[in-house]
Amino acid sequence: MNNSYHHGDLKNALIRAGIEILSKDGVQALTLRQVAKKAGVSHAAPYAHFADKQALIAAIAAEGYRQLYEKLAAAQESRVDALARLMAVAQAYAQFAIDEPDHFKITFSGVVEAEKDYPDYVEQSKRCFALVMVVVTDCQSGGILEPGDPELATVSVWASIHGFVQLMLANQIPGALLAQYSMPELLSFHLNPFLRTNTQP
């Protein structure tokens, strides 16, 4: 099944190889030639499936969003009330970033640089946003979050979680805080100002 021609799905094999390199050796090791090598093809083979390196990165970023969506969906499925779902989503978001920092970073590195558009990436991005928006509007309905423009509220909550995670990956959160509190505690404190029932430390 793999003589001169590949198993028929080189495109996805390249994406998987890229993600594995990201996970094991980091973003500086993500080269087209290494990806091709890991997939068992010549260094020029990827060009049959991707226009250039940026296109492969866009595909890897879209897959990052897809995996993130799965984690968020799984995290909230097990909870019933809206607040627990919001916290579970926040925790799953942070956990994905901690588990796969380089894949997470590349997903939010701004691949969609104005001119070129990558439809799959955009679709996955919107799908993820929609999931968070459902949780946020449920919280608004339940009186847990302030009422108001749901899109605006979603951006606020999402950006808040995202910023915390980004700063953490960039080693910009004071070590004293990380030593003193657990991740769920930190996220809880962090989202507390948004809640209508405050119990700030």
Partner DNA sequence: ACCTGAACACCGTTCAAGT
In DSSP terms, 145 is beta-bridged to 195
- Of 74 and 170, CB closest to its own copies: 170
Give the single-character DSSP code of 145.
B
Shortest distance (Å) from residue 57 CB to DNA: 10
Rule CB under 8 A: choose which of 109, 127, 134, 137 binds its own copies: 109
Instruction: Work out what residue 16 binds among its own copies, DNA, none; the CB cut-off runs from 5 to 8 Å by kind.
Output: none
Listed ranges 1-9, 32-40, 92-100, 158-166: which one lies at the site for its own copies (CB under 8 A): 158-166
42 contributes a contact to DNA by CB under 7 A: yes
127 contributes a contact to its own copies by CB under 8 A: no
Distance between CA atoms of 63 and 15, rounded to whole angstroms? 8
106 contributes a contact to DNA by CB under 7 A: no
Footprint (CB under 7 A) of DNA, residues 9-38: 10, 30-34, 36
- Of 11 and 53, CB closest to its own copies: 53
* Count of all residues that appear for the chain in the document: 201
Q: If you compute the radius of gyration of the chain from its CA atoms, what whole number of angstroms results? A: 19
CA 23 to the chain's CA centroid: 14
Distance between CA atoms of 107 and 100, rounded to whole angstroms? 11
175 contributes a contact to its own copies by CB under 8 A: no
166 contributes a contact to its own copies by CB under 8 A: yes
The one-letter amino acid at 126? K
Backbone angles phi, psi at 183, to 5 degrees: -60, -50
14, 84, 85, 159 from 78: Cα distances, Å: 33, 9, 8, 24
Using CB under 8 A as the criterion, which residues of the chain lie in contact with its own copies when the complex forms? 105, 108-110, 112-114, 125, 129, 146-149, 151-152, 155-156, 158-167, 169-174, 176-177, 189-190, 193-194, 198, 200-201
